[in-house]
Structure 1
Amino acid sequence: MTVLVRFAPSPTGYLHIGNLRPALFNWLFARRQGGRFLLRYDDTDRERSRAEYAEGIAEDLAWIGIRPDAVARQSDRLSHYDAAADLLRDSGLLYACYETADELERMRKRRMGRGQPPVYGREALRLSAEDRARLEADGLRAHWRFRLPNFADDPFRPERTEVHWDDVVRGRQTVDLASLSDPVLVREDGTYLYTFCSVVDDGEMRVSHVLRGDDHVTNTGVQIALFETLGHAVPAFGHFNLLTTIDGEGLSKRSGALSLRSLRAEGLEPMAVASLAVLTGLSGSIEAMPDLDALEARLDFRHVSASSSKFDPAELARLNAELVHAMPYERAAERLRALGVPDAVAEAFWLAVRRNCGRVADAAEWRDVVFGPPPAAPALGDEDRAFAGRAFDLLPPGPWDRTTWKTWTERAKAETGRKGRSLFMPLRLALTGLEHGPELADLLPLIGPERAAARRP
Structure 2
Amino acid sequence: MKPIVRFAPSPTGKLHVGNVRTALINWLFVRGEGGTFILRIDDTDVGRSTKAYEDGLKEDLKWLGLNWDESFNQSDRFDRYDAAADKLREQGRIYPCYETSEELDRQRKILRSQGKPPIYNRDGLNLSEAQIAAYEAEGRTPHWRFKLSGKAVVWDDVVRGRQSIETGSISDPVLIRADGSYLYTLPSVVDDIDAKITHIIRGEDHVTNSGAQIEIFEALGGPVPGFAHTPLLVGKDGKGLSKRLGSLSMDQLREQGIEPLAICSLLGKIGTSDPIEARQSLEQLKDEFAFSKIGRAPARFDEAELDLLNSRLLHDMSFEVVEARLKALDIPASEDFWHLVRANLGKFEDVVGWSAVLHTSMSGQIADEDKEFCARAADLLPATLNADTWSTWTGALKEATGRKGKSLFLPLRMALTGRGRGPEMDKLLPLLGADHAKARLKGEAG
Query: Which TM-score applies when normalising by structure 2?
Result: 0.95
Contact 1:253-1:259 at 8 Å conserved across structures: no
Q: Does 1:162 align with 2:148?
A: no
What are structure 2's unaligned runs of at least 5 residues? none
* Superposed displacement of residue 405, structure 1: 1.8
Specify whether residues 61 and 253 from structure 1 end up closer, same or farther in structure 2 by C-alpha distance, changes over 3 A only.
farther
Q: Aligned residue for 2:440?
A: 455
Give the secondary-structure state (helix, strand or coil) at the position aligned to 1:10.
Answer: coil
Give the secondary-structure state (helix, strand or coil) at the position aligned to 1:125.
Answer: helix
What are structure 1's unaligned runs of at least 5 residues? 151-160
Specify whether residues 102 and 307 from structure 1 end up closer, same or farther in structure 2 by C-alpha distance, changes over 3 A only.
farther
Q: Does 1:95 align with 2:80?
A: no
Q: Aligned residue for 1:372?
A: 360
- Counterpart CA distance in 2 for 1:373 and 1:215 is 58
Give the secondary-structure state (helix, strand or coil) at the position aligned to 1:364.
Answer: helix
* Superposed displacement of residue 445, structure 1: 1.4
Q: Does 1:392 align with 2:378?
A: yes
* Superposed displacement of residue 376, structure 1: 5.0
Aligned equivalent of 1:181, options 152, 171, 184:
171
- Counterpart CA distance in 2 for 1:23 and 1:304 is 15
Q: Aligned residue for 1:292?
A: 282
Contact 1:13-1:253 at 8 Å conserved across structures: no
Q: Does 1:202 align with 2:187?
A: no
Contact 1:388-1:427 at 8 Å conserved across structures: yes
Structure 1 counterpart of 2:354, which letter?
Answer: W
- Counterpart CA distance in 1 for 2:266 and 2:440 is 43
Q: Does 1:356 align with 2:341?
A: no
User: Map of 1:395-406 to 2, 5 A cutoff?
Assistant: 395-398=381-384, 400-406=385-391
Range moving further from structure 2, 38-47 or 303-312: 303-312
- Counterpart CA distance in 1 for 2:426 and 2:329 is 23
Contact 1:15-1:253 at 8 Å conserved across structures: no
Give the secondary-structure state (helix, strand or coil) at the position aligned to 1:393.
Answer: helix
Give the secondary-structure state (helix, strand or coil) at the position aligned to 1:11.
Answer: coil
Question: Deviation above 6 Å: which 4+ runs of structure 1?
Answer: none
Give the secondary-structure state (helix, strand or coil) at the position aligned to 2:6.
Answer: strand
Structure 1 counterpart of 2:382, which letter?
Answer: P
* Superposed displacement of residue 379, structure 1: 2.2
- For residues 2-52 of structure 1, give each alpha carbon's deviation from its aligned partner in whole angstroms, at most 9, with x where no partner exists: 210000011111100111111011111101111110000111011111111
Query: Which TM-score applies when normalising by structure 1?
Result: 0.93
Structure 2 counterpart of 1:452, which letter?
Answer: A
After superposition, the CA RMSD in angstroms is 1.7
Give the secondary-structure state (helix, strand or coil) at the position aligned to 1:53.
Answer: helix
* Superposed displacement of residue 424, structure 1: 1.8
Structure 2 counterpart of 1:141, which letter?
Answer: T
Range moving further from structure 2, 370-379 or 7-16: 370-379
Aligned equivalent of 1:337, options 315, 319, 327:
327
- Counterpart CA distance in 2 for 1:83 and 1:259 is 37
- For residues 223-263 of structure 1, give each alpha carbon's deviation from its aligned partner in whole angstroms, at most 9, with x where no partner exists: 11001111000000010011022344434499521001111
Range moving further from structure 2, 114-123 or 45-54: 114-123
Give the secondary-structure state (helix, strand or coil) at the position aligned to 2:440.
Answer: coil
- For residues 328-361 of structure 1, give each alpha carbon's deviation from its aligned partner in whole angstroms, at most 9, with x where no partner exists: 1111212222333224xx2211111111111111
Q: Aligned residue for 1:236?
A: 226
Q: Aligned residue for 1:154?
A: none
Specify whether residues 330 and 186 from structure 1 end up closer, same or farther in structure 2 by C-alpha distance, changes over 3 A only.
same
- Counterpart CA distance in 1 for 2:110 and 2:365 is 79
Aligned equivalent of 2:393, options 386, 408, 411:
408
Specify whether residues 85 and 319 from structure 1 end up closer, same or farther in structure 2 by C-alpha distance, changes over 3 A only.
same
Structure 2 counterpart of 1:179, which letter?
Answer: S
- For residues 51-105 of structure 1, give each alpha carbon's deviation from its aligned partner in whole angstroms, at most 9, with x where no partner exists: 1111111111111111101001111110000000011112221111111112112
* Superposed displacement of residue 451, structure 1: 1.2
- For residues 295-318 of structure 1, give each alpha carbon's deviation from its aligned partner in whole angstroms, at most 9, with x where no partner exists: 123322222221322221121110
Aligned equivalent of 2:267, options 265, 269, 277:
277
Q: Does 1:303 align with 2:288?
A: no
Structure 2 counterpart of 1:395, which letter?
Answer: L
Q: Aligned residue for 2:13?
A: 13
Q: Does 1:37 align with 2:27?
A: no
User: Map of 1:216-231 to 2, 5 A cutoff?
Assistant: 216-231=206-221
Structure 2 counterpart of 1:340, which letter?
Answer: D
- Counterpart CA distance in 1 for 2:57 and 2:76 is 18
Q: Aligned residue for 1:128?
A: 128
Q: Aligned residue for 2:405?
A: 420
* Superposed displacement of residue 162, structure 1: 0.9
User: Map of 1:141-160 to 2, 5 A cutoff?
Assistant: 141-150=141-150
- Counterpart CA distance in 1 for 2:236 and 2:403 is 50
Q: Aligned residue for 1:153?
A: none
Aligned equivalent of 1:264, options 254, 257, 280:
254
